[in-house]
Structures are given as C-alpha cells and as structure tokens.
Structure 1
Amino acid sequence: MSTQQGFAGIGQSDRTAPTPLLPVSLENVCFGVNGADLLHDVSLTIGPGNRTVIMGPNGAGKSLLLRLMQGLISPTRGKLTWRRDWNSRQGTQGGTPGSATGGMPSGAPPVSIVLQRPVLLRRSVAANLTHALRVLRVPRAERAARLEELLTLGNLQDRRDQPARSLSGGEQQRLATVRALAASPEMLLLDEPTASLDPQATHAIEGLIQSSHERGTKIVMVTHDMGQAKRIADEVVFVSQGRIAEFTPAETFFTQPQSEEARAYLSGQLVI
C-alpha cells in the first residue's frame, strides 16, 4: 500500500461534511503567567489551504500560539474563535469552551498537535497506535485495517512490535505524527518536529507533512530551520517578544521582510 493510499482511508468513515473549521481568529489575545504577559495583544487570522510556518527567536511565544489553538491553554485576555466552534477559548472576562463537532465522530477532535518531544506510551509501536484508535472510538472491526494504514504511512511496518520509546528520534517523531493523523484532523499543528534530527529523518517527516497537506489538512508549523521554512511555507508568521511582528507570504518574508525584527533575524543578528 502506498503512503497516499494509506492516508486516503484514515478516519474517513462515518463522517459527514461539517461546516469548515477555518479560519481561526485571535483577537487581542494575551497570555500570561504570574502576572507577566508572554503574549501581548495578538491579533491574527489563519485561513485554510496555505501551509503556515511560525518563526522567531527562542522565547518569542511561537509554541504558545500552537497551544492556544489546540486548547491546551486559554487566553488570559482576548478571544480565540473558529468558523466552526469546537473548542474556542475566550479570556477570563467571558466565554466558555465551545462544543459543536460538526458531524465528526465524537472521539475525533478536528485539531491535532505534534510536540517537539512527543510523549509515547510504554508499549509497542502498534499498541501506541491502537490505543489512539480506541480513544478516537474507531469501531473495533476497523482498527486492524486502520493500524496497517498508519504503520504504512509512517514507514514503521518493521517496527510494529518494538517498544516505542526505544525507537530513534526520527522514528519517534514519525510515530507521533501518524498517531496525530489517526483522527484525520482538519488542522495539524507541529512544534519543531524535526529539531535535532538528521537530514534523512527530517526528509521523512517533511514527506508526512506534505502528504497531509495534499490530502487537505491545514498545516501550521513552528521551525527555526530556515531551509525547512523555505521548503514548506506558503506564508510566515514572525513572532518577536510575544507580538506578531509580521504575517506575510513566504516569498515576501524571505526576500523583502517588512519588519525590522524580521530583517535582523534573517540577516543572522541575535534577536532577543
């Protein structure tokens, strides 16, 4: 089975066409800890289609943006809304999480996230994926076929019985990525998925990202790798000191950056 064939069948049964999830809008969003704001008045709208890459110096707030969109954290102030309300979070001045799932299986969220250091269960590769399918409430009769699709998608067939935590770094990231894709998410968030990986492992992860994009999944990825950003990005969000300094098409960002912070970053200057 080819990668495209395997991915084509994942998570598509029992799903009616919902209202589109995107765009997602952040309006004057702030996020703080112990009274100190880490994100400041962020206003940003991310639409469907384009592969969105988030860049910026360490500590700028890039990963926080992903966690806000996933719903792992909530804004301290401001509002985050989706075209189809599924888990939108509003600031402490009002609002509660939304709920509508738009005809999706009740166990399948429309947004998945892959962290830089994925958490894998202390069990085999196959058992990690089977657990995800069970949590997603995939019917028992379909799980074996879905498992094979996911193993093929991640090129992990010969690792199926190996303890997941004994895999190489690249293999662990492939496992985490196909586990995230088990739900056929409408949006896939990736937080530096190839950090510290060798070129071969990086190429494999980028292949998964591209195949996911070709199947219609919205990609939003954080990376420090300039070459990778140029290969993947259709548009770039540049974050500096907790603020959106620039949001432009990738070609514009890399050739004619509009903000002083982005120009300094691209020229190799230390941006704090």
Structure 2
Amino acid sequence: MNDLLVERLERPGLAPVEGLAVPTGQTLCLHGPSGSGKTLLLRAIADLDPNQGVVRLGHLRRDEVSAPEWRRRVIYVPPESDWWEERVASHAPQWPPEWLSRLDLEPEILQQPIRQLSTGERQRLAIVRALARRPAALLLDEPTANLDEENTRRVEGLLQNYQRQTNAPLLWVSHDPAQRERVADQSRAIVAGRLA
C-alpha cells in the first residue's frame, strides 16, 4: 500500500495539518479561494519549502530519505511548468510516444526550443515529463488551469490511466467543480490556511 499520509505538518502560512490521507489509487481534490494555502500545502508535502512534521508514502517516512529521493517518488506538478534546458528532449530521459499522442503532441515537439511552445504545450509536456519519472504519488497544482476543455480532458484521462496502472495516490488542486466531480474520489476545502 502506498497511501500518502500527512500525519502532522507545520509551515508558515498554514494552520497545522493533521490526518490528511490520500489512499492508494485514489484522488483527493483540494479546493478553496486563491491564496488560501493549497499551493503552500502541496509544496510542503513535496519538501520544496521549509516545514516540519511527519509525511508518509506507505511505510516510508519523508525524513527517512533524502529530499531528492522523496521528490522522485512524490512529484509536484505546478500550474506553470519550469524548463531549464533549451530543448524539450533534454528535460527527461524518456518521453513515451503513446503519452505524447494521448495529449495530442507530435514526437517532433521534443526537438523544439521551449521558447517556441505555447503555455498549453509546455504544460502538457510537463505532465508527460512528470509521469515519465514513474512517481509513486503525484501532487497536482491546477495541472489543467492553462488548458482548453479538450486538452483538459486529455490530461485528466492520461492521469487517471497512469493511476489505474500504478495505484498512485493523487492530491489534485482544482478550482473547477465539474473537474472535481469527474476525477475526485474525495474532496476537501482549504480556507485561510485551514483544511475544512
């Protein structure tokens, strides 16, 4: 079992979080007003920002492995992707062609300079890049915010397919009630830094 469990977590800007669980193979959607702490929570779980507490993936405690090793297992996907090399292909060791195809991306896009890609293309590629690393859990921070409806559905389908194959728990931030209805097994609100 690879449940993602926040037993206790403290960080600036958030009330202490206790008992947040995303069971193996399920999706928990977080929602709430802008600035309520959703991104702060995901970044803390990913150990990208200073925080204290106990976070587990299955039997593995976050503090039992190095930060880079934790981030390989529990991948954070931000609403706008970061790119540090000039060409797409340099950002991951593999780009499964079937995943590119599912997101309506041609293999030739891997040779293009990042600066020539649209925001939507970059975001879809960021999803493929994250999945290609075979994470055990995903922290998705509005992964479809910059996509049209058709591409939103494609990304949802790819993420759900990955989840079916791997049983990865997904913690998914979404402002879209219809999307939450489609993808969530459970949903929680976060308001003013507090989980409801």
User: TM over 0.5: same fold?
Assistant: yes
Question: Relative to structure 1, is the Cα distance of residues 235 and 173 closer, same or farther in structure 2, using a 3 angstrom cutoff?
Answer: same
Q: Please give the TM-score of this superposition, normalised by the length of structure 1.
A: 0.63
Return the alpha-carbon distance in structure 2 between the equivalents of residues 188 and 23 of structure 1.
10
CA distance in 2, matches of 1:169, 1:100: 32
| 1:30 matches 2:10 | yes
Distance in 1 (alpha carbons) for counterparts of 2:66 and 2:86: 33
Number of equivalenced pairs: 188
Give the superposition deviation at 1:65: 1.3
2:5 aligned with 1:54: no
1:232 matched residue in structure 2: 183
Match of 1:193 in 2: 143
Q: Deviation at 1:50?
A: 1.4
Q: 1:40 to 1:225 in 2, by over 3 A?
A: same
Question: How far apart are residue 121 of structure 1 and its match?
Answer: 2.7
Compared CA separation, residues 100 and 196, structure 1 to 2 (3 A): closer
User: 1:121 is matched with which residue?
Assistant: 84
> Which blocks of at least 5 consecutive residues in structure 2 are unaligned?
none
Residue in structure 1 matched with residue 116 of structure 2 by the alignment: 166
Q: Provide the secondary structure at the position in 2 that maps to 1:39.
A: coil
Q: Match of 1:200, as an amino acid?
A: E
Distance 1:194 1:108, change over 3 A: closer
- Which stretches of structure 1, 4 residues or more, deviate above 6 A after TM superposition? none
| Counterpart in the other structure of 2:99 | 153
SS for the counterpart of 2:72 is coil
Instruction: Work out whether residues 121 and 164 of structure 1, in 8 Å CA contact, stay in contact via their aligned partners in 2.
Output: no
Contact between 1:52 and 1:234, CA under 8 Å: does it hold in 2? Answer: yes
Quote how far apart the aligned CAs of 1:100 are. 7.8
Once residues 77 and 4 of structure 2 are traced to their aligned partners in structure 1, the CA distance between those partners, rounded to angstroms, is 20
**Aligned-residue RMSD, C-alpha:** 2.3
Distance 2:187 2:193 in 1: 16
Q: Distance in 1 between matches of 2:174 and 2:70?
A: 29
> Is residue 64 of structure 2 the alignment partner of residue 98 of structure 1?
yes
Question: Which position in structure 2 is the counterpart of 1:181?
Answer: 131
Deviations 1:206-253 (A, max 9, x none): 1221111111222111011111111111101211111111xxxxxxxx
Where does residue 19 of structure 2 map in the other structure? 44
Give the 3 Å change call, closer, same or farther, for CA 152–198 of structure 1 in structure 2. Answer: same
The reply on whether 1:223 has 2:169 as its aligned counterpart is no
Deviation at 1:108, TM superposition (A): 7.8
Distance 1:165 1:42, change over 3 A: same
In the TM superposition, residue 25 of structure 1 has moved relative to its aligned partner by 2.2
More RCO (CA 8 Å, sep 6+): 2
Greater gyration radius: 1
Percentage of matched positions with identical amino acids: 32
Once the two structures are TM-superposed, the CA of residue 26 in structure 1 deviates from its matched residue by 3.1
Output the amino acid matched with 1:74. Answer: P
- Aligned 8 A contact 1:191 1:222 in 2: yes
Match of 2:194 in 1: 243
Amino acid in structure 2 at the alignment position of 1:98: E
Asked if the contact 1:171/1:201 (under 8 Å) is kept, the reply is no
Q: In the superposition, relative to structure 1, how do residues 152 and 160 fare at CA in structure 2: closer, same or farther (>3 Å)? A: farther
Q: Name the structure 2 match of 1:255.
A: none
Deviations 1:146-185 (A, max 9, x none): 44x2x43122313121112322222111111111112211
Deviation at 1:200, TM superposition (A): 1.9
Q: Residue 173 of structure 2 aligns to which amino acid in structure 1?
A: V
Q: Tell me, which stretches of 5 or more residues in structure 1 are unaligned?
A: 1-19, 33-37, 89-96, 134-145, 246-272
Are residues 1:70 and 2:70 paired? no
